[in-house]
Amino acid sequence: MNSTVQEAKALLRVRQQLMAKSMTCDQRSLWSEVIVERLTALPAWQSAHRILLYAPLRDEPDIASHIRLDDFPNKEFFLPRFHADSGGYVATEFNGNWLELLQGTFGIREPKLESPELPLKHLDLIVVPGLVFDSQGHRLGRGKGFYDQLLAQTRGVKCGVAFEHQVMSDIPMEPHDIQMDILISSVRGNNFIQPIKTI
């Protein structure tokens, strides 16, 4: 393990936590709405049948308040749920009712235990939050590595979503970190959607 990279990541996490605290509720709502509009307009979204979303935390784009899953009747939606036996996250069927979600192991809302699971390799699109992304599609998470473990098992398009202050030109990376295929942000102008790889 590279201690220099770990230290750089730790400093970035502290920086992002401070920036997140300065974001107002109105800013978060406005920027989240922009991100959702851009996300659902993507060809990768429109062609996907099985989509993994996420239950947003306070410092992440609030897709729950701005995405209308009923508008996409031909798609199946899933959320991550922590699987205690495997020590990792699985894709769990989501009926679209955010209010029915339960508090999970790490404070992240999850579907009920009886909700059916889907093998991760069957997902067509994975919508991924993070603390920081860069223009090459690299992602910095919260340090536990759970999302990287999940993403390593998927074959679908990996789409990062980020507020403007969460996008940097370059971030420190390690071999196990998973790169995004697409990055969507609330950045104004022509660079708000960045296709990182050919998909």
Cβ atoms within 10 Å, residue 144: 9
Q: How far apart are CA 73 and CA 62, in angstroms?
A: 21
Mean pLDDT over residues 104-122, rounded? 91
pLDDT digits (tens, 9 = 90+) for 17-37: 777 777 889 999 999 999 999
Which amino acid does the sequence have at 67? Answer: I
At 96-112, the pLDDT tens digits run 999 999 998 888 999 98
Q: Which helix (H) or strand (E) holds 12?
A: helix 3-21
Can you tell me the distance from the alpha carbon of 38 to that of 80, in angstroms, rounded to the nearest whole number? 22
**How sure is the predictor about 193, in pLDDT bands with cuts at 50, 70 and 90?**
low
Rounded Cα gap, residues 172 and 2, in angstroms: 10
Domain boundaries, position 119: 3-195
Whole-Å CA distances, 28 to 36, 60, 87: 12, 8, 32
The radius of gyration computed from the CA coordinates of the chain, to the nearest angstrom, equals 16
Look at residue 174 and tell me whether its pLDDT is greater than 50: yes
Question: What is the arithmetic mean of pLDDT over 142-167?
Answer: 88
**What pLDDT sits at residue 199?**
39
Q: What is the pLDDT confidence band of residue 41, given thresholds at 50, 70 and 90?
A: very high
pLDDT at residue 87 in the model: 82
Looking at the predicted structure, is the pLDDT value of residue 162 above 70? yes
CA angle 19, 98, 138 (to 5 degrees): 40
Residue 184 in this model has a pLDDT that exceeds 80: yes
Q: Give the C-alpha separation, 76 to 188, whole Å.
A: 30
- Our count of domains for the chain comes to 1
CATH number, domain at 133? 3.40.50.10420
Say if pTM beats, i.e. exceeds, 0.85.
yes
pLDDT score of 163 more than 80: yes
Are 137 and 178 spatial neighbours (Cβ–Cβ below 8 Å)?
A: no
